[in-house]
Amino acid sequence: MNTNNEKRATLAAIVTIGDELLIGQVVDTNSAWIAQKLNLLGIPVYRMTSVSDAPNEIAAVIDELRPVCDLIIITGGLGPTRDDKTKQTLCNYFNTHLVQNDEVLAHIERLLAKRNIPMNELNVAQAMLPETCEVLFNPLGTAAGMWLEKDNTVVVSMPGVPFEMKAIVEQNLIPKLKKNFKTQAIVHKTIITSGIAESVLAQQLNEWETSLPEHIHLAYLPSPGQVRLRLSAYGNDEHELQNEIEKISFKLNDIIPANIVAWQDEAIEVTIGKLLKDKNLTVGFAESCTGGNVAHLITSVAGSSAYFKGSVVVYSNELKNKLLNVPFEVLNQYGAVSKETVEILAKEARNLLNTDFAIAISGVAGPDGGTAEKPVGTVWFALASEKEVVAEIAHFGDDRERNIQKASIFALNLLRKHL
Amino acid sequence: MNTNNEKRATLAAIVTIGDELLIGQVVDTNSAWIAQKLNLLGIPVYRMTSVSDAPNEIAAVIDELRPVCDLIIITGGLGPTRDDKTKQTLCNYFNTHLVQNDEVLAHIERLLAKRNIPMNELNVAQAMLPETCEVLFNPLGTAAGMWLEKDNTVVVSMPGVPFEMKAIVEQNLIPKLKKNFKTQAIVHKTIITSGIAESVLAQQLNEWETSLPEHIHLAYLPSPGQVRLRLSAYGNDEHELQNEIEKISFKLNDIIPANIVAWQDEAIEVTIGKLLKDKNLTVGFAESCTGGNVAHLITSVAGSSAYFKGSVVVYSNELKNKLLNVPFEVLNQYGAVSKETVEILAKEARNLLNTDFAIAISGVAGPDGGTAEKPVGTVWFALASEKEVVAEIAHFGDDRERNIQKASIFALNLLRKHL
């Protein structure tokens, strides 16, 4: 083990294990989460790799990464069940063997007792750990993390269940990494833009982009309804980089003032939550095609009850009429997806929910229900405030999931523009 | 190019390119999606790798994978902006150079005109493609896919924007793969279980699991509120494997009959949708702590308007009273998170929404709002039907996001048990 005085410079790799990844049954979210944490420590990630849980594959990927990386973080393959082969593979690789860890065994016993689950031999086996490893205690689960070393490479193995892995990283891995590794300064700044296509944005930013210093990199990250600009600065002094990147990004205010949604990488529901809270205002929704997703986004933010009291999902014409007084004549004459309908929905929702703002969304999410006049992807929005009701239309694409997502972001952005 | 008569046996690798992946800013969902598609073709995936967009890294990973894989599928690094280096890297790697593709240029022109975006030199550059590549046409975007070959390895490069990549794969890549590669039969079957811990499940299934033939593999895949069992059968005859795997999985009916939610890997909202539709029944929700997520899940299924008319999100006590007539005395005496409150919410929601069933959910999602008596994670549920109102309580954990997710699944499972 290195002492504080001779910390190593670091390049990390992340490995996720599991056939469920390779057949696409499970999306690997662990790698991105771990990469974020390493980034905050200034430890760059060289690669992410997903491999099968076959023992020779796990050993092969460690072999490949060791010449390049000082730190290999592995998740997956540590459950109680027999499809897990990682622990034995690591023992073979590090020339050690499994021994019972009494502390871990006691923890497993306590944990299972608390959940009223009987202890069985598979759980007992989970307390068997490589003799030479340092245990990274798992406060939320039965599979412990392990820290192993070979020829100056550290291999960390953790269970794949995300919330258990996260608890191990936060509580036990990060402090240990800080103690053992040298870290370089990396500062990122992300600016969220909307209402401008990636290629147009790139052309408008061309001069500014060309003037960036060599140690600052720019990336364009498009997603439904927005393009994020990410600046990354590499150097020694975090504080200096922070100042530099702020100064450079601030120039965007002169180039694309109307397109900047946020000066940091935060979801629009977070941005809006802050604005509403600051101004002591409330919002509610009348959702048709978004089916509750806008309310879900708003309430995914802790503390949202300060500005969100409730919402209605009026999927049928019957409920548009019964809950929000849209006359059947309006629904018949103009349709549920119309300026007329959303304006009434927004105005009535504002009254019903007793909020400062109400947003109504009604559209054709697809895949069915489109017409020549209103094809799939057509969505009407209205915002009602004390002083006005405004409506907007948008034309999205053919994909139901994306249409719901885009319409939700559009609705929140409509609110943002009025805050 | 190989002819139909001498198709190759295949092992594939998936590579995703982008610094945004390595810093954890974006979760790679492309790899899992592509892996699913390859799996359906019987093309196993050897590895998934995420690398930086540095040219030497892209070349290095192709070099490493070529000895093992016949097919390397790359996504990312093909946008109009200057952070994209993939195309030039591929040209260098395959000893070719960029030439203008008139068909692609015309497509880009049409696409931008339709969106009212002016064509600029960055867009023109997108029509420059490696001379020796076969173009995989991108119907939804400006970055074309490419099919390149070297020493019997096929390298496919596609843009990273998921919906564009998906369109290229569906329309152009899959037909080309079918023509060029031999495929082996892989059959998966996933059984969804709930209400039983992974280790207990493993013990109960021990004898059955031990009796599985060698070419059939079992994996346990735990997620919030459920454990999925995945059987994978490898062989030559798909039909035979299908029969075998059905027969084997059917035995689970004798071992864990009460814990089986579904006999296929489908989201519970899909299972419920089918049940409601078959029985011609409708459902609505009164959501507090889940904030609209249950309605969002239900409406994420196309055709859900057949059984879902609408829903209310009553986040505040004021709206629980105003919209669903929960007396303030009840809210004050028992609290918003109580059997008494959810029973009234469910009953009143059923009346208001005019449905066969209504489910009410009220709990402490966290991170704040917990008390000694009702800590964070405490959630009350009620189901109202024509003949009864039943309530259940659940105790989840400390994490807001997981609590919302678990409570949503629990609510849907409560409904399933009554269908």
How large a percentage of chain B has pLDDT more than 90? 66
Residue with tokens 């013990």: B203
Tell how strand B216-223 and strand B226-235 pair up. antiparallel
Q: Which of B118, B188, B400 is opposite residue A302, by nearest beta carbon?
A: B400
List CB contacts (< 8 A) between B52 and chain A.
Answer: 46
Q: In whole angstroms, give the CA distance from residue B287 to residue A296.
A: 10
**What is the biggest distance separating any 2 CA atoms in chain A, rounded to whole angstroms?**
79
Residue pair B339/B391 in contact (Cβ under 8 Å)? The answer is yes
pLDDT exceeds 90 at position A316 = yes
pLDDT at B2: 37
Contacts of B258 (CB under 8 A, 6+ apart): B195
Q: In whole angstroms, give the CA distance from residue B189 to residue B247.
A: 11
pLDDT band for position A346 (cuts 50, 70, 90): very high
Tell me: the pLDDT tens digits for A25-51? 889 999 999 998 998 788 989 999 999
pLDDT at A82: 60
Residue pair A411/A290 in contact (Cβ under 8 Å)? The answer is yes
Say if the Cβ atoms of A52 and B46 lie within 8 Å: yes
pLDDT exceeds 70 at position B288 = yes
Residue pair A35/A67 in contact (Cβ under 8 Å)? The answer is no
Residue pair A186/A200 in contact (Cβ under 8 Å)? The answer is no
List the one residue out of A111, A123, A48 whose CA is nearest residue A84.
Answer: A123
* Residue A94 distance to chain B (closest CA, Å): 23
Q: Which residue of B has its CA nearest to A13?
A: B22
Residue pair A73/A14 in contact (Cβ under 8 Å)? The answer is yes
* Residue A52 distance to chain B (closest CA, Å): 7
Q: Quick count: other Cβ atoms within 10 Å of Cβ A187?
A: 22
Beta-bridge partners for B130: B98
Q: In whole angstroms, give the CA distance from residue A171 to residue A312.
A: 41
pLDDT at A9: 60
* Residue B220 distance to chain A (closest CA, Å): 7
Q: In whole angstroms, give the CA distance from residue B381 to residue B376.
A: 15
CA B59 to chain centre: 30
Tell me: the pLDDT tens digits for B306-321? 999 999 999 999 999 9
Q: In whole angstroms, give the CA distance from residue A273 to residue A260.
A: 17
CA B8 to chain centre: 30
Q: In whole angstroms, give the CA distance from residue A176 to residue A153.
A: 14
B315 touches chain A (CB under 8 A): yes
B48 touches chain A (CB under 8 A): yes
| Three-class SS of B224-256 | CCEEEEEEEEEECCHHHHHHHHHHHHHCHHHHC
Contacts of B14 (CB under 8 A, 6+ apart): B30, B31, B34, B35, B45, B47, B48, B49, B72, B73, B74, B75
CA B32 to chain centre: 9
pLDDT band for position B3 (cuts 50, 70, 90): very low
Residue pair B355/B394 in contact (Cβ under 8 Å)? The answer is no
More confident position, A119 or A12: A12
pLDDT band for position A4 (cuts 50, 70, 90): very low
* Residue A87 distance to chain B (closest CA, Å): 16
List the one residue out of B145, B376, B213, B407 whose CA is nearest residue B297.
Answer: B407
Residue with tokens 């997603």: A223
How large a percentage of chain B has pLDDT more than 70? 97
A318 touches chain B (CB under 8 A): yes
Contacts of A50 (CB under 8 A, 6+ apart): A15, A16, A17, A18, A21, A22, A28, A31, B31, B47, B48, B49
C-alpha distance from residue A303 to each of A270, A276, B374, B400 (Å): 10, 12, 18, 11
Q: In whole angstroms, give the CA distance from residue B208 to residue B172.
A: 42
User: What six digits make up the tokens of B180?
Assistant: 């060029």
> Can you tell me the mean pLDDT for A87-104?
93
Residue pair B46/B13 in contact (Cβ under 8 Å)? The answer is yes
Say if the Cβ atoms of B318 and A309 lie within 8 Å: yes
pLDDT exceeds 50 at position B1 = no
Q: Which residue of B has its CA nearest to A283?
A: B315
More confident position, A185 or B255: B255
Query: Mean pLDDT across chain B, nearest whole number?
Result: 91
Q: Is the peptide bond before A118 cis (omega within 30 degrees of 0)?
A: no
Residue with tokens 């930013």: A205
Beta strands in B61-100 (DSSP E): 71-75, 98-100
pLDDT exceeds 50 at position B104 = yes
Question: Taking CA B297 as the corner, what is the angle to CA B291 and CA B300, rounded to the nearest 5 degrees?
Answer: 130
pLDDT at A114: 77
List CB contacts (< 8 A) between A49 and chain B.
Answer: 47-50
Among the residues of A300-363, which ranges form H helices? 317-324, 328-334, 339-353
Radius of gyration of chain B (CA): 26
Q: Which of residues 268-307 of B touch A (CB under 8 A)?
A: 287, 290-296, 298-300, 302-305
Contacts of B107 (CB under 8 A, 6+ apart): B137, B138, B142
> Can you tell me the mean pLDDT for A165-173?
96
Q: Which residue of A has its CA nearest to B78?
A: A220
* Residue B97 distance to chain A (closest CA, Å): 23
Residue pair B290/B404 in contact (Cβ under 8 Å)? The answer is yes
Tell me: the pLDDT tens digits for B222-233? 777 788 998 989
Tell me: the pLDDT tens digits for B359-410? 999 999 988 888 989 999 999 999 999 999 999 999 887 789 889 988 998 9
B207 touches chain A (CB under 8 A): no
Q: Is the peptide bond before B367 cis (omega within 30 degrees of 0)?
A: yes
Beta strands in B19-144 (DSSP E): 45-51, 71-75, 98-100, 128-130, 134-136
A402 touches chain B (CB under 8 A): yes
User: Helix (H, G, I), strand (E, B), or coil: what is residue B86?
Assistant: helix
Query: Mean pLDDT across chain A, nearest whole number?
Result: 91
* Residue A113 distance to chain B (closest CA, Å): 13
C-alpha distance from residue B180 to each of A22, B177, B184, B224, B294 (Å): 22, 5, 13, 41, 44
- Torsion angles phi and psi, residue B242, rounded to 5: -55, -50
How many residue pairs from chains A and B have C-beta atoms closer than 8 A? 314
> Can you tell me the mean pLDDT for A206-233?
88
Q: Which of residues 343-362 of A touch B (CB under 8 A)?
A: 352-354
Least confident of A349-353, A394-398, B82-86: B82-86
Q: In whole angstroms, give the CA distance from residue A179 to residue A347.
A: 58
User: What six digits make up the tokens of B298?
Assistant: 């239900």
User: What six digits make up the tokens of A238?
Assistant: 């975090």
Q: In whole angstroms, give the CA distance from residue A57 to residue A54.
A: 5
Residues, chain A, total?
419
Q: Which of A27, A197, A308 is opposite residue B117, by nearest beta carbon?
A: A197
Q: Which residue of A has its CA nearest to B223?
A: A161
Tell me: the pLDDT tens digits for A256-275? 988 888 898 888 899 999 99
C-alpha distance from residue B385 to each of A319, B280, B393 (Å): 19, 14, 18
Q: Which residue of A has its CA nearest to B404?
A: A300
B200 touches chain A (CB under 8 A): yes
Residue pair A65/A15 in contact (Cβ under 8 Å)? The answer is yes
How large a percentage of chain A has pLDDT more than 90? 66
List CB contacts (< 8 A) between A304 and chain B.
Answer: 291, 315
Contacts of B175 (CB under 8 A, 6+ apart): none
Contacts of B191 (CB under 8 A, 6+ apart): B228, B229, B231, B249, B252, B260, B262, B263, B264
Tell me: the pLDDT tens digits for B109-130? 998 887 777 888 888 999 999 9
pLDDT at A112: 85
User: What six digits make up the tokens of B306?
Assistant: 């057949």
More confident position, B30 or B19: B30
Q: In whole angstroms, give the CA distance from residue A137 to residue B27.
A: 27
pLDDT at A2: 37
pLDDT exceeds 60 at position B4 = no
Select from A46, A313, A351, A401 the residue whose CB has the most chain B CBs within 10 Å, as the one to mutate to test that interface: A313
Select from A11, A56, A285, A296 the residue whose CB has the most chain B CBs within 10 Å, as the one to mutate to test that interface: A296
User: What six digits make up the tokens of B194?
Assistant: 């709930």
Q: In whole angstroms, give the CA distance from residue A164 to residue A170.
A: 10
Contacts of B237 (CB under 8 A, 6+ apart): B185
